[in-house]
Amino acid sequence: MRNLTAFVFLLAAAIWGTAFMVTKAGLAWIPPALFAALRFDLAAIVLFALATWRGDRIRPHGAEWRPILTGGVLLIGIHHAFLFSGQVYVTSAVAAVLLGLIPVITPTLTRLSSTRERLTPIGVVGVALGFVGVVTIANPDPANLVGADLLGVALVLGSAVTFAVGAVLTHDAADTMPMLAEQAWMMFVGAVVLHVTSVALPWESAADVVWSLEAVVSLGYLAVVAGAGGFGLYFWLLRRVGPVEVSLLEYVIPIFAAISGWVALEERLAPTTVLGFAIIFVGFVLVKRTTIRNELRRWRDGSTPQAQQAD
């Protein structure tokens, strides 16, 4: 079973890592917010169809709307509006590495929003290192502080922060609705937010879409493979190994993003990106050091995953 878990882990990382390259390729033909909206239109349709086929309950009740609306607006809508817009300006690898901040920011926000927990001095150092990693990747030129690369980094950083905020606001919600149906509704809500965003942005227009073969393939891959398939693998892993090991996906995904971007788009990996990645990872280890230690002990003892508390 460990071999199966390792295979699924690498498969999920490969799917989501190559999704950055596919997104970059598709952005040449479809404006960013509209591209993301169409992706989640299709992904929601696929998930609704699967949930119906399984006989799951589709209609949310009462408090079940809270995580759907919060997750749809933040985790799907605003997060991907920032991410897709940022990828217009930065490489696949840079975007993937910057999202490695999510496992650093999320427990930090959880602690800051809790009256019972506070970030320790070592945790503060970890968070600071995370943002030092961002600055290292951006490598800003003082003579050009509004350059395209810096704008791209700022947009992707905004997507990471938005995702972390969404995760904090939804993590306490009661898990009463079938997973596929809940994810389908989140993607539907997110798609609506993205369509509204696309219409509101003066520099985006549906008339700018060019339905090339590359655009269609990119959209299909992101919706079906990276969307429905990738999230399915993610939740399988979450149930199997727990939240800490799953969060390590964010540190394997950039490897696949860099390789696929180099092979398919001839994107080069800057030394500052590699250094920034290493700094962000160290920050993650410092913030989550206690949970990582407990997880390593559990793995060594061969026990089953247990619910972990944020360190």
Q: Which residues of 40-69 are buried (b: 16+ CB within 10 A; e: fewer)?
A: bbbbbbbbbebbeeeebeeebeeebeebbb
Q: In the chain, what are the domain boundaries?
A: 2-101+142-271
Q: What is the pLDDT of residue 166?
A: 86
Q: What is the pLDDT of residue 114?
A: 56
Structure tokens at 182: 């809940």
Q: What is the pLDDT of residue 310?
A: 41
Q: What is the pLDDT of residue 122?
A: 84
Q: What is the pLDDT of residue 109?
A: 78
Q: What is the pLDDT of residue 60?
A: 93
For 164-220, the three-class secondary structure string (H helix, E strand, C coil) is HHHHHHHCCCCCCCCHHHHHHHHHHHHHHHHHHHHHHCCCCCHHHCCCCHHHHHHHH
Q: What is the pLDDT of residue 308?
A: 43
Q: What is the pLDDT of residue 112?
A: 64
Virtual CA dihedral for 260, 73, 157, 122, nearest 10 degrees? -110
Q: What is the pLDDT of residue 307?
A: 43
- State the DSSP string of 231-255: HHHHHHHHHHH-HHHHHTHHHHHHH
Per-residue pLDDT of the chain (311 residues; tens, 9 = 90+): 667 888 999 999 999 999 999 999 999 999 999 999 999 999 999 999 999 999 999 999 988 999 899 989 999 999 999 999 999 998 888 888 888 888 888 777 776 665 455 667 887 788 888 888 877 876 665 554 456 678 888 999 999 999 888 888 876 666 688 888 998 999 999 999 999 999 999 989 889 999 999 999 999 999 999 988 888 888 788 778 766 677 778 888 888 998 899 999 888 878 888 888 888 889 888 887 887 788 777 777 765 554 444 44
Contact in structure between 167 and 23 (CB atoms under 8 Å): no
